[in-house]
C-alpha cells in the first residue's frame, strides 16, 4: 500500500487498545522494553471493567473480588497489605488508578478515543483508525505493533428463550443496585459468579428468589481453615490433589447441596470456572433461595422450567455471561471461528501476525492481573526480539505459533463458550515462562 499523506507514521511505536487492567500493564511493560506507546481508550478514565462510571462496566454495587488479594495483585505492584482479603470494586479501581499514576502511564493514553479499525499493511505493520467517542472525524496512524486489551466482559451473552414474557427481563450487565430487586419476585439464571452474587443479593432484598442453573457446580467457600480458600489451594501440587482439596473444602463447609434441589455437579472441580460464594448455600439452607432447573420457555406471565414446573417471577435476570468482541479486526486476523472463538497462541499471540497480540483474554482459578502482566511482558519481549534479532524472532515465532492449545492447556473443561479461555494458572504461567526463557537464550 503506498503511503498516503493522511496516514501519520508512528514508526516503531506500539498501539495499545484499552486502558483497563490489561492495557495499563501492556503500556508499562512495553515501555520497559523500550517502546513508545500510544494507548486508545474509549472512556474518559482508566480502570475498564472496574470503573463503575463506565457505561459498559459489568460491576454492580456489591462486587468484591472473588480471588484474594495476593493472587490478584500485579506481581510488581502489590496492593497495600492492610487491605481486606477480598477488596470491593471501588478499592480495585483505586488500585488501578494508583498503578497508572505511579508509573505515569496516562501520559500515553488518548482518552475518549475509540479504535474503529485495525488493518495490516502487509509488511508487519498496522493502520489503526481512531475516532473520538462522541463521533467526529477519524484519523489513521501506522504502528509497528498492536496490542489489543479491550476486555471480554462487556458484550452481554443473552440466552435465547422461546416465547413471550410479560414481566421484565434484563441481562446482569444492567444490574447495578440491590434496589432493583427490592420487593420483587426474581428469577436469576446462571451459576457463574455474577448469577450467584445476584441470587444472594436478591435473597436479602426480594420477596421471592428462584435460581436457575443448567447444571450443578462446585460452589467454593471464600474461607476454609480460617484462610482465603484460594490461598489454601494455590499450591505446587498435582491437579488431582487440588481437586481433592477443593472437594474437601466444599465438604467441610456447605456440604452436598443436592439436599436443596441443586443438581449434583456433572464435572470435577476446576473443570468449570470456579464460582466462589459462601452465602449461596446459606440462603439455600434458609429457604430464601429456591433452586430450579434450566428455563425452557416463557409463556405470558410464567416461566416454564425443564422439569415442567411453572413459576411466576416479575423480574428475570440472565446472568449468562459475556462474549469477546473485536469489531475493529477482520476475523481471520485472530483466526476467529464462525462461533466467534479466536485461536491464539497462549490465548495471546496471533498465529499468522507476529506483531498482533491480545492481552487479558484468559480466565483462571486466579486473578487476571498477574496473568495479563506476564502476557504483556512476553508480548513486549517478543516485539523487542523482532527489532534486536529478527532472524531468531522468526524462528521462535514459527516454532511457537504452530503449537496447538492442547500442548500447554491440558485442563479438561465443561465445553461451553465461557470456558474457551479457561486455563490453569500454574500450567499457563509455566508456558509463558517457557516462552520467555526461549526468547532469552535467543537474545
Partner 1 sequence: MLRYEDWTDPVPAAEREVVSLTEDARTDRPPLLFVPGLGHGAWAFAETWLPRAAARGFAAHALTPRPDGDLRAQVHDVVQVAASLPRQAVLVGQGAGALVVAYAMGRYPVRAAVLAAPVMDGWPTLGAALRANPFGTLPALFGGRLRLNRRQLFGPEMPAEDAQRFLERIVARPRRELVTHDPAPRPVGDPPVLVVGSPDDRVVPRTSLDRTATRYGSAPLLFPGMGHELMLDVTWADPIEAIVDWLEKELES
Ligand X SMILES: NC(=O)c1ccc[n+]([C@@H]2O[C@H](COP(=O)([O-])OP(=O)(O)OC[C@H]3O[C@@H](n4cnc5c(N)ncnc54)[C@H](OP(=O)(O)O)[C@@H]3O)[C@@H](O)[C@H]2O)c1
* Minimum distance from residue 135 beta carbon to ligand FAD (Å): 14
Residue closer to partner 1 (CB basis): 388 or 398: 388
26 makes contact with ligand FAD (CB under 6 A): no
Which of partner 1, ligand X, ligand FAD, none does residue 75 bind to, with CB < 5 to 8 Å depending on kind?
Answer: partner 1
Query: Given CA atoms 338, 342, 344, 346 in this order, what sign does their dihedral have?
Result: negative
176 makes contact with ligand X (CB under 6 A): no
Report the site for partner 1 in 420-439 (rule: CB under 8 A): 426, 429-430, 432-433
Which residue matches cell numbers 537464550? 441
Site string for ligand FAD, 147-186 (x = CB under 6 A): --xxx-xx--------------------------------
- Three-state SS at 170: strand
103 makes contact with partner 1 (CB under 8 A): yes
Q: Could you give the dihedral angle defined by the CA atoms of residues 151, 155, 161 and 167, in that order, rounded to the nearest 10 degrees? A: 120
Residue 224 phi/psi, 5° resolution?
A: -135, 150
29, 72, 150, 320: which one contacts ligand X (CB under 6 A)? 320
Residue closer to partner 1 (CB basis): 182 or 227: 227
Question: For ligand FAD, which stretch binds (CB under 6 A), given 231-239, 360-368, 383-391, 433-441?
Answer: 360-368
Q: Which helix (H) or strand (E) covers residue 248, if one does? A: helix 239-252
Question: For partner 1, which stretch binds (CB under 8 A), given 193-201, 229-237, 255-263, 401-409?
Answer: 229-237
Number of H helices, E strands in the chain: 10, 25
Are 199 and 280 spatial neighbours (Cβ–Cβ below 8 Å)? yes
- DSSP states of 187-243 as a string? EEE--SHHHHHHHHHHHHH-SEEEEE-SSB--PBPSEETTEEHHHHH-SSS-HHHHH
Which residue matches cell numbers 495490516? 120
Q: Cell numbers of 64, please?
A: 468484591
Are 269 and 239 spatial neighbours (Cβ–Cβ below 8 Å)? no
Count other Cβ atoms within 10 Å, centred on residue 103: 18
Question: For partner 1, which stretch binds (CB under 8 A), given 86-94, 233-241, 281-289, 390-398?
Answer: 233-241
* Minimum distance from residue 99 beta carbon to partner 1 (Å): 9
Residues at the contact surface with ligand FAD, assessed by CB under 6 A: 17-23, 40-43, 48-50, 58-59, 63, 65-67, 72, 114-115, 149-151, 153-154, 194, 328, 360, 367-368
Residues at the contact surface with ligand X, assessed by CB under 6 A: 63-66, 153, 159, 172, 189-195, 197, 213-215, 272-273, 294, 319-322, 363, 414, 416, 418
Amino acid at each position: 500500500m503506498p503511503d498516503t499523506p493522511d496516514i501519520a507514521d508512528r514508526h516503531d511505536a506500539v498501539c495499545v487498545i484499552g486502558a483497563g487492567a490489561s492495557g495499563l500493564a501492556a503500556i508499562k511493560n512495553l515501555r520497559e522494553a523500550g517502546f513508545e506507546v500510544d494507548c486508545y481508550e474509549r472512556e474518559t478514565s482508566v480502570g475498564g471493567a472496574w470503573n463503575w462510571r463506565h457505561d459498559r462496566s459489568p460491576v454492580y454495587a456489591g462486587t468484591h473480588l472473588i480471588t484474594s488479594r495476593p493472587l490478584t495483585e500485579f506481581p510488581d505492584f502489590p496492593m497495600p497489605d492492610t487491605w481486606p482479603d477480598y477488596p470491593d470494586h471501588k478499592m480495585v479501581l483505586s488500585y488501578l488508578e494508583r498503578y497508572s499514576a505511579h508509573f505515569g502511564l496516562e501520559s500515553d493514553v488518548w482518552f475518549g478515543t475509540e479504535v474503529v479499525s485495525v488493518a495490516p499493511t502487509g509488511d508487519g505493520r498496522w493502520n489503526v483508525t481512531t475516532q473520538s467517542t462522541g463521533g467526529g472525524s477519524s484519523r489513521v496512524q501506522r504502528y509497528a505493533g498492536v496490542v489489543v486489551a479491550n476486555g471480554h466482559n462487556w458484550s452481554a451473552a443473552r440466552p435465547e428463550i422461546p416465547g413471550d414474557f410479560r414481566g421484565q427481563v434484563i441481562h446482569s450487565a444492567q444490574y447495578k443496585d440491590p434496589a432493583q430487586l427490592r420487593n420483587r419476585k426474581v428469577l436469576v439464571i446462571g451459576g457463574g459468579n455474577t448469577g450467584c452474587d445476584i441470587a444472594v443479593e436478591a435473597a436479602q432484598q426480594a420477596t421471592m428468589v428462584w435460581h436457575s442453573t443448567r447444571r450443578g457446580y462446585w460452589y467454593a467457600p471464600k474461607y476454609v481453615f480460617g484462610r482465603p480458600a484460594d490461598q489454601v489451594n494455590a499450591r505446587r501440587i498435582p491437579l488431582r490433589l487440588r481437586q481433592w482439596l477443593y472437594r474437601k473444602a466444599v465438604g467441610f463447609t456447605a456440604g452436598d447441596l443436592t439436599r436443596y434441589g441443586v443438581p449434583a455437579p456433572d464435572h470435577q472441580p476446576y473443570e468449570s470456572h470456579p464460582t466462589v460464594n459462601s452465602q449461596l448455600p446459606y440462603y439455600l439452607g434458609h429457604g430464601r433461595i429456591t433452586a430450579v432447573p434450566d428455563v425452557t420457555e416463557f409463556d405470558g406471565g410464567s416461566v416454564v422450567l425443564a422439569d415442567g414446573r411453572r413459576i411466576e417471577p416479575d423480574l428475570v435476570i440472565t446472568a449468562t455471561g459475556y462474549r469477546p468482541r473485536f469489531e475493529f479486526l477482520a476475523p481471520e486476523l485472530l483466526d476467529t471461528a464462525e462461533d466467534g472463538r479466536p485461536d491464539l497462541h497462549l490465548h495471546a499471540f496471533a498465529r499468522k501476525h507476529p506483531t498482533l497480540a491480545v492481552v487479558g483474554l484468559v480466565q483462571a482459578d486466579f486473578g487476571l492481573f498477574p496473568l495479563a502482566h506476564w502476557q504483556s511482558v512476553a508480548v513486549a519481549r517478543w516485539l523487542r526480539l523482532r527489532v534486536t534479532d529478527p532472524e531468531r524472532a522468526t524462528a521462535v515465532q514459527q516454532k511457537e505459533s504452530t503449537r496447538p492449545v492442547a500442548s500447554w492447556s491440558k485442563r479438561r473443561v465443561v465445553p461451553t463458550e465461557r470456558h474457551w479461555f479457561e486455563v490453569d494458572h500454574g500450567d499457563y504461567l509455566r508456558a509463558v515462562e517457557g516462552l520467555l526463557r526461549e526468547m532469552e537464550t535467543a537474545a
